[in-house]
Structure 1
Amino acid sequence: MSLLALTVAAMFLVSPQDPARPSAQTTSGGVTGVRGEGVVAFKGIPYAAPPVGPLRWTPPRPPAAWEHARDASSYGAICIQPPANGDPGVGPLPMSEDCLTLNVWAPEGARDLPVMVWLHGGGYNNGSGTAALYDGSALARRDVVVVTINYRLGRLGFFDHPALAADRAADQPAANYGVMDQIAALEWVRENVAAFGGDPSNVTIFGESAGGVAVTQLMIAPGARGLFHRAAIQSGLGRQQSAELALDRPGRPSAQSLGRAWARGAGLRADVDAETLRAVPAEKLLTPMPAFYSDNLIVDGRVLTEDVVEAFEGGRQAPVPLLIGTNSAEFWWIRPTDAGAYGRVDDALTEAEHDALLAAYGGGEAYDQHVVSDFIFNEPVRHLARLHARAGHPTWLYRFDVVPDSNPEPSGGATHASERPYVFETLHTVGRPLGDRDRRASADMAGYWTDFARVGDPNGGGRPSWPDVRAEADMLLEFTNGGPVAKAIPNPARLDLISQFYDRTR
């Protein structure tokens, strides 16, 4: 009887009748969250079945239903990944393959509010939707519903091998399991967000770095069409060329060749079967860490049928309002002579092209500090913005150049990922003192982002006007220490030379 009493008591503590615990009903069962300071939060909600055992490297499946109200007061596990090395975009342990959960924040009494779905960065190797940096409470107080998600990472999320191909149906999508997870999460939002006060017909996807790449990929993914209605891309590359599923190209091994090479290095037999691969300990798949630019970007023919830039150039991207931009000193620490995909971006320049660029930068020092950022971020983002505007879709381009006085880096501008706490109004999570200037910049960014989510236009609220690229193709909004300023795109001459290089080498 005592055990029964304890069970009944535990059920009562998470009962929808408990006024301290907000409740909602999903298609899988009821959930009970927490409330505080005008916001209700529901954490660790499964949006797909755990991709473990025989479900490793298979498309996400619906989660099993539950009978009693599920406690949604704490985050789920982060997905399997290497150590965070201090990245505030990674939530706390534990980590597990059973990680396909999402989190929802909404203002109390929410009804038919815009929905903002965040896709975290981390090179498709790290990150989670559970980091304090991405707490959605502040944005929710601006009358939006915020959703953050986990999705499979590294070789668990972006991988193929001939043994897996032999084990699956010919029409089963493969390799891009992390992108499939993102689509499954958006389907969950479509089916369930109304229960949390969100409007499923007004969904904005936004993300940074690899999360920005994810936004561009979802804009061209057939399976994501209609699941979102606005898109915001923060430092999301744009000119990257993906590996194909099974076709090797010069300098670009296929996903299956990369999978074969990893298995060989891991000591697996050449004739390894799918069952053996699925039994490999998850942590073993982390070594060596896959490279985002060459290993984790895959055109598989079903989930993703072409590269992002090809789709935009053909006008085949989702016809939604777009907010897109970069930071002023993205990869300031990477030099063009460094090893790796990013550091070798200028290797294919002709001598004449190199000399012209060197002159445009005003010498070798500026060239070394900025050329990688221009090749990887600034020119590609300008190119995508122009293409989207040329197709007739509302487009707003930005540059983030807010640098706190407490910034210890000799970056000469705003480094990669530094805008994240400004967008989320979570400045307290960055571990160094920030002042009123930063809080004003954060309020501006959060205001622009949430107004964009609300009506598909970031302008309003008495803030400086942000020009639409359709009307002013060479203009952007720059976030500065003194506030937002509409201005011409900086450094057009060197970006034009990089555009000409990309045109020549395509």
Structure 2
Amino acid sequence: MSLVSFLSVAVLMLSPVSPNDPVVQVQTADGVLVGRANDQVEAFKGIPYAAPPVGALRWRPPQPVVGWDGPRDAGNVGALCPQPPANGDPGVGPLPMSEDCLTLNVWSPKDRVGSAPVMVWIHGGGFNNGSGTAALYDGTALARRGVVVVTINYRLGRLGFFDHPALAAERVAGEPGGNYALMDMIAALKWVQANAEAFGGDPGRVTIFGESAGGAAVTRLMTSPEARPLFHRAVVQSGLGRDAGTPLDRPSALGKPSLQARGQTYAERIGLRVPTASDLRAIPAESLLTPAPSFYGGDTLVIDGSVVQEDVEAAFAAGKQAPVPLIIGTNSAEFWWMKPSDLSPYGEIDDAMTQDERATIVAAYGGEDGYNAHVVSDLAFNESARHLARLHARAGHPTYLYRFDVVPDPNPEPHEGATHASERPYVFDNLATSTWPKGERDHAAAAAMADYWTRFAAIGDPNEEERPQWPEMGAQADQLLEFTNEGPVARAIPFAERLDLIEAYYSRRR
């Protein structure tokens, strides 16, 4: 990147749309919104896409917004959905916090020619934390590249994933339960279909993209019949893939308790032995936050039989996923801090290995130290991403696999690679929001990722002539694009022999 280009990127990063910028109005299906504009981007924030899920609507599918008369100010983000303290995660936005949190935010290029592709971001945070309101996810830099960016809030923790026999008993026939967060996402996508054109967006070119739990949500939306007509491309960033979901009313495939049994256990723990649905809805929201539900342990990965009908891997293996172009990938040192001996659901992933399997896999890592440092990342993320990418390509759909290995020089963490979630400010080209100081090399990496992502949103293919070509897996099997400190590089999937052994382990377990 030239010095002029570097300075241009820096200036763009320092000029986001502010609530104090000139106002601009747009007519939506629910009423007039008053947003803010600078010389390049229009922004509309805190837009309700569903009715507040409070009172009798807690643990109900999202209901339509009640429209408003007259202009509604859209200059500030809405409230966070209830969640535990952020612990420094830049993916959590500003207070206040409220169950009335089903809002979204839109950034649109100001001087657009024709309809722009739409990118809908689904944040991560283990389905317990996060929001679409964080500065990290500000859509200004992406919108400058000619796309409409939408970020959403959705219900979290037990408010987003919960069931109990008392709730099940009151549901009418055909009403889905348990997966309220996924229902919120679908409601937001329906809002996008109804309103994209008002913001200059093309409802026929919608990309869903998400990281971590957000990536896991994307793969579930890809398998959801209700979500299928609402998007046309998908991006999965560190989104697992081999995880086992929890059914509402029967044990999981791993023999773990159903979601309703988990709900009963929770209610009894807080002194509600035979509660009514009204008793459950009267629990203060803050009481529902502790102890936090377990993401990989199955509390928030739910098979409800309607919105999500089966595990992601099984759906992809059967070719039931949405037939859309897919970008999928992981970071080079996802869970570098986590050991397979840890007392956590992630530490249990290798527990079913036979002695011979473990000995062979440990040897492939060069011994116990290498195994302890990398196997959880490979078991949970790297092999799973490769597996889903292969299945999607095998079904005849354009598939692009990546590996993110950009590490800022000042970062002192001893992980020898890019840790989980570290790609987010690069994808959004919002490096000013990240923890470590960034230099020209990092800005070049961010510009590249944002360019690839927005090009993919536009045409379903991330490639342009002036950038390194990203191999498509159907045409070039087991090739990926690696984002490195020296720039993007097309190469064979790293450490394939380790991933092959893990694939064999999963196949034997199944």
Q: TM-score range by the shorter chain?
A: over 0.9
**Among candidates 435, 442, 446, match of residue 439 of structure 2:** 435
Residue in structure 2 matched with residue 15 of structure 1 by the alignment = none
Q: How far apart are residue 406 of structure 1 and its match? A: 1.2
Residue in structure 2 matched with residue 95 of structure 1 by the alignment = 97
2:216 aligned partner, one-letter code:
V
**Among candidates 231, 236, 245, match of residue 234 of structure 2:** 231
Q: How far apart are residue 431 of structure 1 and its match? A: 2.9
How big is each residue's C-alpha offset from its partner over 1:141-177, in whole Å with a ceiling of 9 and x where there is no partner? Answer: 0000000000000000000000001111131100000
Is 1:444 paired with 2:448? Answer: yes
**Among candidates 65, 70, 73, match of residue 72 of structure 2:** 70
2:478 aligned partner, one-letter code:
D
1:157 aligned partner, one-letter code:
G
Residue in structure 2 matched with residue 145 of structure 1 by the alignment = 148
1-structure distance, mates of 2:381, 2:476: 20
2-structure distance, mates of 1:133, 1:36: 19
Is this contact kept in 1: 2:21–2:37, CA < 8 A?
no
Which segment drifts farther, 380-389 or 104-113? Answer: 104-113
Residue in structure 2 matched with residue 5 of structure 1 by the alignment = none
Residue in structure 2 matched with residue 21 of structure 1 by the alignment = 23
1:101 aligned partner, one-letter code:
T
Residue in structure 2 matched with residue 254 of structure 1 by the alignment = 258
**Among candidates 159, 175, 199, match of residue 196 of structure 1:** 199
Q: How far apart are residue 457 of structure 1 and its match? A: 0.2
Q: How far apart are residue 37 of structure 1 and its match? A: 4.0
Residue in structure 2 matched with residue 291 of structure 1 by the alignment = 294
Could you say what the CA RMSD is over the residues aligned between the two structures, in angstroms?
A: 1.1
1-structure distance, mates of 2:436, 2:352: 40
Q: Secondary structure at the match of 2:443?
A: helix
1-structure distance, mates of 2:434, 2:450: 17
**Among candidates 165, 175, 179, match of residue 176 of structure 1:** 179
Q: Secondary structure at the match of 1:191?
A: helix
Residue in structure 1 matched with residue 350 of structure 2 by the alignment = 346
Is 1:357 paired with 2:358? Answer: no
1:54 aligned partner, one-letter code:
A
**Among candidates 473, 483, 486, match of residue 469 of structure 1:** 473
2:146 aligned partner, one-letter code:
D
Q: How far apart are residue 344 of structure 1 and its match? A: 2.0
2-structure distance, mates of 1:240, 1:345: 10
Is this contact kept in 1: 2:248–2:302, CA < 8 A?
yes
Is this contact kept in 2: 1:109–1:197, CA < 8 A?
no
Q: How far apart are residue 20 of structure 1 and its match? A: 2.5
Is this contact kept in 1: 2:408–2:436, CA < 8 A?
no
1-structure distance, mates of 2:236, 2:111: 30
Residue in structure 2 matched with residue 9 of structure 1 by the alignment = none
Q: How far apart are residue 473 of structure 1 and its match? A: 1.4
Which segment drifts farther, 163-172 or 224-233? Answer: 163-172
2:332 aligned partner, one-letter code:
S
**Structure 2 counterparts to residues 42-57 of structure 1, below 5 A:** 42-57=44-59
Is this contact kept in 2: 1:325–1:399, CA < 8 A?
yes
Q: Secondary structure at the match of 1:396?
A: strand
Residue in structure 2 matched with residue 130 of structure 1 by the alignment = 133
Q: Secondary structure at the match of 2:348?
A: coil
2-structure distance, mates of 1:26, 1:134: 23
Residue in structure 2 matched with residue 13 of structure 1 by the alignment = none
Is this contact kept in 1: 2:410–2:437, CA < 8 A?
yes
How big is each residue's C-alpha offset from its partner over 1:32-67, in whole Å with a ceiling of 9 and x where there is no partner? Answer: 101124111000000000000000000001111100
**Among candidates 303, 317, 320, match of residue 316 of structure 1:** 320
1-structure distance, mates of 2:448, 2:22: 33
**Structure 2 counterparts to residues 362-401 of structure 1, below 5 A:** 362-401=366-405
**Identity percentage of aligned residues:** 64
1-structure distance, mates of 2:350, 2:323: 33
2-structure distance, mates of 1:19, 1:441: 30
1:220 aligned partner, one-letter code:
T
| Residue ranges of structure 2 left out of the alignment (5+ in a row) | 1-19
**Among candidates 466, 478, 489, match of residue 493 of structure 2:** 489
1-structure distance, mates of 2:465, 2:262: 50
Over 4 Å off, 4+ runs: none
How big is each residue's C-alpha offset from its partner over 1:328-378, in whole Å with a ceiling of 9 and x where there is no partner? Answer: 000000001111101221111000000000111011111100000000000
2-structure distance, mates of 1:171, 1:143: 40
1:179 aligned partner, one-letter code:
L
1-structure distance, mates of 2:363, 2:217: 35
Is this contact kept in 1: 2:326–2:399, CA < 8 A?
yes
Q: How far apart are residue 83 of structure 1 and its match? A: 0.4
Q: Secondary structure at the match of 1:486?
A: strand
1:34 aligned partner, one-letter code:
R
Is 1:276 paired with 2:273? Answer: no
1-structure distance, mates of 2:491, 2:239: 21
1:28 aligned partner, one-letter code:
D
Q: How far apart are residue 252 of structure 1 and its match? A: 1.4
1-structure distance, mates of 2:274, 2:499: 48
2-structure distance, mates of 1:91, 1:472: 40
Residue in structure 1 matched with residue 10 of structure 2 by the alignment = none
1:211 aligned partner, one-letter code:
G
Residue in structure 2 matched with residue 420 of structure 1 by the alignment = 424
Is this contact kept in 2: 1:447–1:461, CA < 8 A?
no
**Structure 2 counterparts to residues 103-118 of structure 1, below 5 A:** 103-110=105-112, 111-118=114-121
1:398 aligned partner, one-letter code:
Y
**Among candidates 221, 227, 238, match of residue 218 of structure 1:** 221
Is this contact kept in 2: 1:104–1:146, CA < 8 A?
yes
Is this contact kept in 2: 1:459–1:465, CA < 8 A?
yes
Residue in structure 1 matched with residue 83 of structure 2 by the alignment = 81
Q: Secondary structure at the match of 2:295?
A: coil
Is 1:164 paired with 2:179? Answer: no
2-structure distance, mates of 1:25, 1:245: 40
Q: Secondary structure at the match of 1:503?
A: helix
Q: Secondary structure at the match of 1:222?
A: coil
1:314 aligned partner, one-letter code:
A
2-structure distance, mates of 1:317, 1:413: 31
Q: How far apart are residue 85 of structure 1 and its match? A: 0.3
Q: How far apart are residue 472 of structure 1 and its match? A: 1.2
Is this contact kept in 1: 2:473–2:480, CA < 8 A?
yes
1-structure distance, mates of 2:478, 2:489: 14
Q: Secondary structure at the match of 1:464?
A: coil
Count how many residue pairs are aligned between Structure 1 and Structure 2: 488
Is 1:307 paired with 2:328? Answer: no
Is this contact kept in 2: 1:58–1:174, CA < 8 A?
yes
Q: How far apart are residue 275 of structure 1 and its match? A: 0.4
Is this contact kept in 1: 2:176–2:306, CA < 8 A?
yes
